[in-house]
Amino acid sequence: MVENFSEMLESSLSDFRYKEGEIIKGTVLSIVNDTVVVDVGLKSEGRIPLKEFHSPGEDHNVKIGDEFDVYLEKLENKEGEALLSRERARKEESWSQLEKMQDKKQEIMGVITGRVKGGFAVDINGAVAFLPGSQVDLKPVKDISPLLNKSQPMVILKMDKLRGNIVVSRRALLEESRKADRSKLLSDISEGDKLKGNVKNITDYGVFVDLGGLDGLVHVTDLSWERVNHPSEMFQIGQEIEVMVTKYDTENNRISLGIKQLTDDPWHNVEEQYKVGNKIKSKITSIADYGAFMELSKGVEGLIHTSEMSWVNKNVNPNSILEVGQEVEVLILEVDNSKRRISLGLKQCTENPWEDFAKGKKSGDIVEGKIKNITDFGLFVELTKELDGLIHLSDLSWEDNGENEIKKYNVGDNVKFKILEIDVNKERVSLGIKQLSANKGNSDKFINKIVTSIIEKIEIEKMLVKFDENEKGFIKKSNLAKVKTEQNTSRFAEGEKIDAKVLRKNKKEGIYELSIKDLEIEEEKEALKEYGSSSSGASIGDIIGAALEEGKTKSTKDKDEKK
């Protein structure tokens, strides 16, 4: 009887060898609908939801007879069954494993299950972790859906078992991978390599490309053989593109890239394709202050400079005669492959009015025309409907100075004049009125000559000078300079040498009248001849400014055509 009682006690105690809160072994007896029946060696089995046996997004692989660790929550519930949890056991297992992996800084696999405040919830084999939004990727992720319910490699940033907190990062692993890619790229890269990358940023001066751990720049000049107004017209951020390494600065780890280098240079046989002297028709692609660009073929443009647009207007506004998209015929003036420049002429495809005028007129002809404009330096008179000619102040009269003589004329007056010179190349016609009559003082060898004089005496209204050893002369205050503010004898000193033009001889006194002002006008006239003057509306400032501008144009034209 005693033995039987002992056996019963031993048997009863064996039923309680497990304590609540422990992890124990259980065997799958059956699977009923979404419930797994598990035997843990107690009076009755326990039932565990099937979803606790697999991670979100995965299929279960539970089979009858499988053994699992389960968490014993209660020995017996109201139904007399053991209350078990596979999820609690998995969490305990995960925590233990994760602590070891954190110590070793090992990679873990986690499944992003959904969004929470500030980031995302992650299932790590039963343990719930927090993935901050900033740690999802290398750059902000707008759409997380492609990453949901998929196993992702991560690292543990922080763990607190007492509070049940785990913080993980996916970005940290990506950065490590990026560093490795960068190191490999830096060790393998060389000029001429073709690579693929994603557009990271677009600026006015070019496109930054992410090559996978390292950024490179495609300068705007290396985007295309054709003209590019702005890189954003060609690319979008995030777009995958192919590039070529054009330069690699190993010291600063800077990579220069090119896209146009992936295709043949359209300029390689341009001199054979476009011969100087040939005419070609094409469309205007863009217009600038200094001229208009024309596309001759894909990637090859030529420039019609403003000076090559009109025979009669040297400072023409390109927008006044051309527009983008307009097809025009031009003459090829110059092809410079080394400078990648083709100069085109628009006016050369029309009749040259200067040549036409020269065919019907010659130097010495006496012509009559209407005064179109009166300027500080002379009269512009009408030669044809298109052309004007200049009668300079110094060519108005033999006797009187030009400033006094010009006051006798008005716009609209018809005047007779002699053609002094026709220069087709310089596009100018020089005219004179005084040449219609003989120069009474022409027998005197000094008249109209430029002489070097020595100032002998200075008075308030004039200066007395000596030239050619024995010849005497004087310069009136009004003839000391063209600019009135400089017509002052105090500017000079006795004994000083000056250049002046001999105007006339006072026969009574036997001395000559000289003028510094007329010399300045003569020099100005030569400058005007050099530049040419055809605009009937030009002022002296316009003409001199235009002459200076032409000097600048010659030095900057190359730069313009490269733009």
- Domain containing 25 — which CATH number? 2.40.50.140
Structural domain for 36, as ranges: 17-90
pLDDT at 535: 43
Residue 232: pLDDT over 80: yes
Residue 552: pLDDT over 70: no
Higher pLDDT: 287 or 442? It is 287
Mean pLDDT of 330-343: 89
What is the rounded average pLDDT for all residues in the chain?
A: 81
Quote the number of domains for the chain.
Answer: 4
Please count the residues of the chain.
563
Give the range among 153-167, 284-298, 431-445, 524-538 with minimum mean pLDDT.
524-538
Flag whether 555 is in a domain: no
Q: Is 488 helix (H, G, I), strand (E, B) or coil?
A: coil
pLDDT at 144: 81
Mean pLDDT of 108-116: 87
- Alpha-carbon distance of 196 to 240, in angstroms, equals 7
pLDDT at 6: 54
- Alpha-carbon distance of 24 to 542, in angstroms, equals 103
Residue 443: pLDDT over 70: no
Confidence label for 559 from pLDDT (cuts 50, 70 and 90) = very low
365 and 404 share a domain?
A: yes
Helix (H) or strand (E) holding 29: strand 23-32
Could you tell me how far CA 168 lies from the centroid of its own chain?
Answer: 43
Confidence label for 62 from pLDDT (cuts 50, 70 and 90) = confident
Residue 111: pLDDT over 70: yes
Choose one of 262, 293, 315: the last residue of a domain. Answer: 262
Flag whether 529 is in a domain: no
Choose one of 386, 409, 437: the last residue of a domain. Answer: 437
Confidence label for 481 from pLDDT (cuts 50, 70 and 90) = very high
Flag whether 255 is in a domain: yes
Q: Residue with structure tokens 């190349």?
A: 425
Q: Is 70 helix (H, G, I), strand (E, B) or coil?
A: strand
Residue 75: pLDDT over 70: yes
pLDDT at 328: 92
Return the closest-CA partner of residue 82 out of 34, 17, 31, 20: 20
532: region left, alpha or beta (phi > 0 left; psi from -120 to 50 alpha): left
Confidence label for 40 from pLDDT (cuts 50, 70 and 90) = confident
Confidence label for 5 from pLDDT (cuts 50, 70 and 90) = low
What percentage of the chain has pLDDT greater than the value 70?
86
Confidence label for 536 from pLDDT (cuts 50, 70 and 90) = very low
pLDDT at 293: 92
- Alpha-carbon distance of 425 to 82, in angstroms, equals 113
Choose one of 90, 114, 148: the last residue of a domain. Answer: 90
Residue 364: pLDDT over 60: yes
Higher pLDDT: 71 or 171? It is 171
Confidence label for 273 from pLDDT (cuts 50, 70 and 90) = confident
Flag whether 181 is in a domain: no
- Alpha-carbon distance of 304 to 398, in angstroms, equals 44
pLDDT at 514: 92
Flag whether 454 is in a domain: yes
Mean pLDDT of 454-478: 92
Flag whether 170 is in a domain: no
How many other CB atoms sit within 10 Å of the CB of residue 331? 18
Q: What is the DSSP letter of 427?
A: T
Flag whether 501 is in a domain: yes
- The pLDDT tens digits of the residues spanning 120-175 come to 998 887 778 898 988 888 777 778 888 888 888 888 888 887 777 889 888 888 87
What are the CA-CA distances from residue 521 to residues 36, 378, 394, 467 (Å)? 114, 10, 8, 21
Give Cβ neighbours of residue 413 (< 8 Å, ≥ 6 apart). Answer: 370, 371
Task: Answer for the pair 76, 44: CB distance below 8 angstroms, yes or no.
Answer: yes
Most trustworthy range by pLDDT among 147-161, 372-386, 489-503, 520-534:
489-503
Based on DSSP, count helices (H) and strands (E) in the chain, helices before strands: 9, 30
Higher pLDDT: 398 or 562? It is 398
Mean pLDDT of 254-278: 86
pLDDT at 47: 80
pLDDT at 338: 81
Higher pLDDT: 22 or 475? It is 475
Residue 401: pLDDT over 90: no
Give start and end residues of each alpha helix (H) in 284-415.
318-321, 353-360, 402-405
79 and 35 share a domain?
A: yes
483 and 429 share a domain?
A: no
> pTM for this structure?
0.48
- Alpha-carbon distance of 503 to 506, in angstroms, equals 10
Strand-pair category, 428-432 with 127-132: unpaired
pLDDT at 547: 47
63 and 38 share a domain?
A: yes
430 and 473 share a domain?
A: no
- The pLDDT tens digits of the residues spanning 295-305 come to 888 888 899 99
Tokens of 545: 């400014």
pLDDT at 86: 74
- Alpha-carbon distance of 167 to 154, in angstroms, equals 10
Mean pLDDT of 219-232: 86
- Alpha-carbon distance of 132 to 112, in angstroms, equals 11
Residue 37: pLDDT over 90: no
Confidence label for 441 from pLDDT (cuts 50, 70 and 90) = low
Mean pLDDT of 298-315: 86
Measured over the CA atoms of residue 75, residue 79, residue 84 and residue 85, the dihedral's sign is: negative
Confidence label for 464 from pLDDT (cuts 50, 70 and 90) = very high
Confidence label for 534 from pLDDT (cuts 50, 70 and 90) = very low
Flag whether 321 is in a domain: no
